[in-house]
Amino acid sequence: MGAPDGDCLGPYRLLSPLGAGGFGEVHLALDPEGHTVAVKILHPHVAADEVALTRLAREVEAMRRVQGPYVAELIEASLQSERPYLATRYVQGRPLSAVVSGDGPVGGEVLVRLARGLAEALAAVHAAGVIHRDLKPGNVILTDGEPVLIDFGIACLLDSATVTTSGAVLGTPGYLAPEILEGGETGPEADVFSLAATLAFAATGRHPYGTGPASAIGYRVVHHEPDLDGVPPWLEPLLRECLVPDPAARPPAAALPARLAAVAPVGRVAGSEGSATVPSSASSAGSAGSAAPVGPGVFASPPPPPAPPRPRPPFSSWRGGRPREDRESRRSREDRESGVHGLTTREWRPGRRGRSRLDASLPESAREHRRAVIHRRWVIGTGLLVALAAAAAKSPLPEVSLLLLTVYGAVMIIDGGVALFARQNRPRLVVDLAGAGGSVALWAVLGAFFSPLTLGLALGTVVFVLVVILLSS
């Protein structure tokens, strides 16, 4: 179906598609004041189904009852138009699943902010009488290090009957609570289980119940203990309590923010790489609060209060009873955010400054892992290119062939030596030496089995593809 870019839907001008799900297609759009929103357009075959419209009406009502700084709130909905849609706050950033897959596990200050933000988001969801039912890393967006919970597409009201449709996805394996897998009642305790599984994935980089077929993962959820190896000591006991099979034994979502505030590290984060600090009003107060004795010679500082909520994004008008913001204060905030007067749309793209701010808040271990991955890919890519070029020049220009191999080998040896003696980085030295040796071996194999003409054509094709990639990026 797909609405074309520049098309208007109600008061919104569609800019570009963001994704699609079982019920509709999500577009980045501009509201009448020029602010970005996310517009979800119902699929035509779903819009023609009265049962699906009833389900959407329940979804809209649920989303209107959920508000908070860590959830993507509903702005407006239109169910009677030719193309039914709903508009929510647009969240710029990357999904938690992509952050962990690309940069490794999160830790230190980032993990503390993630845990506190998701706990407050789930508390707000349950306070509104809603069950999210699909809390997972893909439905958590990190924006400037702060989490935002999105996609209430399968949320249902606590005080309404469960609505089911054929083909509807009811959850994600590994993050569904065991009582759901066993066919029991779905309550808010299931979201607490999903929250703990999501935090375990963020802290370790692994799914807490492994991977594989959905049936195998479901069996491990019901019968096995979660894999929490690598979760920081301050967080592991709470996650184990939230992942118990008995729903009644799990803590309620309303208690999670206070529980995390009591156990989350303040100042230098224990077990993290570097010296990440946790922003808190208690840290600026110094020693104003008195310490409570907990044993002979041992004192425990009072838990810090929860972090203040982030201000809401500058919408010109909030439907459903939300106040209109002052124009001058909104304009000054936009100027601070964008640095250009009048620029209101800043869609996130890979490689822009939004990603660098997030990477800067990652632990040093995650950044070092990312640098190692980039270096390994660079060595492999350049080694393949040099071996191919040297093999192509082996017969007509043997001097050039040997020169290429010699220069590449010298560069690899120098880089490995610098890494070894300057930073004591032995793995990098191994990668460099393996790259140099592998390029020589590949040069010998290619030169023995392929003609110079074939190798030249292959080299030209590779260079052409690289140039196209560089120009397109």
Q: Which residues are catalytic?
A: 134
Residue type, 25: E
Longest dimension (CA), the chain: 83
40 is in an annotated binding site: yes
Q: What is the Cα–Cα distance from 217 to 205, expressed in whole angstroms?
A: 17
Structure tokens at 71: 């959830």
What is the CA angle 99-115-17, rounded to 5?
Answer: 40
**Residue 293: exposure state from Cβ atoms within 10 A (0-12, 13-18, ≥19):** exposed
CA neighbours closer than 13 Å in the CB half-sphere of residue 197: 31
Structure tokens at 400: 């050039």
Helix axes 256-263, 108-127, angle to 10 degrees: 160
Contact, 152 vs 191, CB < 8 A? Answer: no
Contact, 39 vs 86, CB < 8 A? Answer: yes
Sign of the alpha-carbon torsion through 115, 121, 124, 129: negative
Quick one: which of 204, 265, 196 has its CA closest to 237?
196
Q: What is the Cα–Cα distance from 132 to 198, expressed in whole angstroms?
A: 14
**Residue 333: exposure state from Cβ atoms within 10 A (0-12, 13-18, ≥19):** middle
Q: What is the Cα–Cα distance from 440 to 390, expressed in whole angstroms?
A: 9
Q: What is the Cα–Cα distance from 197 to 136, expressed in whole angstroms?
A: 8
Q: Which residues are annotated as a binding site for ATP?
A: 40
